[in-house]
Structures are given as C-alpha cells and as structure tokens.
Structure 1
C-alpha cells in the first residue's frame, strides 16, 4: 500500500488563521459602524424598525431564515433533513447548521439584514476505497460519497496517515461545489 505524506503544515494553518482573523475584522467593522450610527433613531436590539415590524411580524430572525433558500448551495437532489443548530451570534449575526439527506451538513451565517455571509457544506466519514486521489467515504451521518481531491489541493495530514482505507476524513465544499479543504484524522 502506498503511504502518502501530504502535509499542509504552517501554510494551511496560516491561511486558516488569516481567514478567521479577516472574518473577525469584518464582523467587528460592521459592529463599529452600527455603534457609531445615530443611536436616537436606532431600533432596540431584536425589535426591528416600525416598517420592518409592519411587514414582518416575526421580527429580524424571520427575515434571516428567509435569506437562504432550502436548496441554496446544495448539490442536485439533496435536501435539508433537519436543523441541528439555529443560533444568534454576536452583533445580530445568525448561524444555522442543517443535516442534509446526503449525509453532509450545510453551515450558513447571515448578517443582521439577512444577507448571506458564509455558506459551506461539511462532510466527515471513514475512507472505504482509494484510487489515486479518488476516494469513496462512508459518511458519519449515513450514505456514501465518492470525491476526487484536486491535484493542487493540499491535504492536512498531521499524523501522516495518507489516503488509506479506514482513515477518517473531513472536507468542506463551497456554494459552487468546489472542495475547499481536506483533513485526515486517526
């Protein structure tokens, strides 16, 4: 059996850290603008404006739920099976984690206006078969999935496990269906 040594090392971790820091800066920038606005006209948190309440009796959380359609970012034929987590974040942002019928999870984050900030699909499971960079995985939440890891994609493999049968694998897919990262665990 071929033992692949694929290590992202500091480059991937630095990129991940940079993305997290950028998101934090973005979120804190939005909060800063909201705090420096005219506070006399600002609605109380969670209340919305009078116009918003006339059009939407449920307030802002209802607006946010409508921002992402049931099929947005999902592969053809895949549907939301159930909501795993639906929480409010800092600065009126909203996070929703949904279990999908193909065994993955859809993670969405929306801003206070209901606009989409992040949409990712996450999958995790155990490798069943490997043929080069084509991998068949038994997903933790049911079903199997076969994917081809792009040649230019670096696989995070801190324990040097390689793409081998029985190794746990996690990957994230963006709204366009592109694999964003792959990680191997023991």
Structure 2
C-alpha cells in the first residue's frame, strides 16, 4: 500500500508550508512534502484521513483519491514546477518530461487530461506560460527577449503572438494596462 497522499491546489512553496503546518498540527509524520503530494512515513488511518481532509479544505486544498485525478494533478504540478519554480534549462519536450516522470504513455496522459479538464494539455501549458509571462512583465526586471529565452520560446514574436491570442492584448499593452488581470495558478 502506498503511503503517498495527493493534494489538489498545491501550486507554490507557501502551499507546501501550509500543508506541512497541517501535518505537524495533526501530528502526522511524513518524509517529504512536494507540490501536490505528501510521502507519509506510515499508512494513514481512516480517522486521520478525515482529519487531514477537513484541515486541507479549510486551507483551500483537497485530497485526490482516484488514480486518474492523481495523474492529472501530477501533470499540473510538473508543469507549474517547471514553468514557475524551476531555473533548469532543458531541451526536452513536454511529452518526454511527462511520460518520463509519470512512467506512462504521453498519448494516454494527454487524452486523459483533455477528457477531464475540458482543455488540451498543450493549452494548459500555454496558459501557465502566459501567466508566468504576465508575472515577469509586472516585475519589470527582464526584457521581453529575456522572458522569451527563459520560457523557451523560439522568438519574441512567437511569445507576443501567443500572448495576444490568449489575453487579447500584446505584452506591451498588458504592461501599460491598469488591470493586470492575473490569475491564481490553481484557477488556470
């Protein structure tokens, strides 16, 4: 039996801290907490599972119980980790990353994602990248060329076209706009 529990809506290091506080509050021992999952040292009793579920819901999280939902959460967390929290430079394609990390066929995972989330996995990746672009534009610490390079766009023109297609405005228009219209990562 696996001692890993999967948690929906964990999208940042603060989420990890929040879940860590919950586990410590409930005196539930764990080995490691990562985006979307907690590796427990022992199997969880039904009583503790209920306690965790209630505490998680109070913080805006929820337990993921079925295998398909777990796979989708793992896919989302990998995308968020690579786009928003990683500085590693990789030439790998998303299909290779996802199938390697989850040890399943990419076509199956992509199809599963689309059937449950009502958007393609590729569109989810694009939406996450555009949110990261918005964040970096708001910070105003990098040029658009540097942002394009960091997020592995082939050119500034490609980034700009994709940005406009998703947001309805160019990166320059976005930068000048009063309403930055950013989204929470778990709402993308």
> TM tier, shorter chain?
under 0.3
Q: Which has the higher strand share?
A: 1
Question: Which entry has the higher C-alpha Rg, 1 or 2?
Answer: 1
Alignment TM-score, normalising by the size of structure 1? 0.23
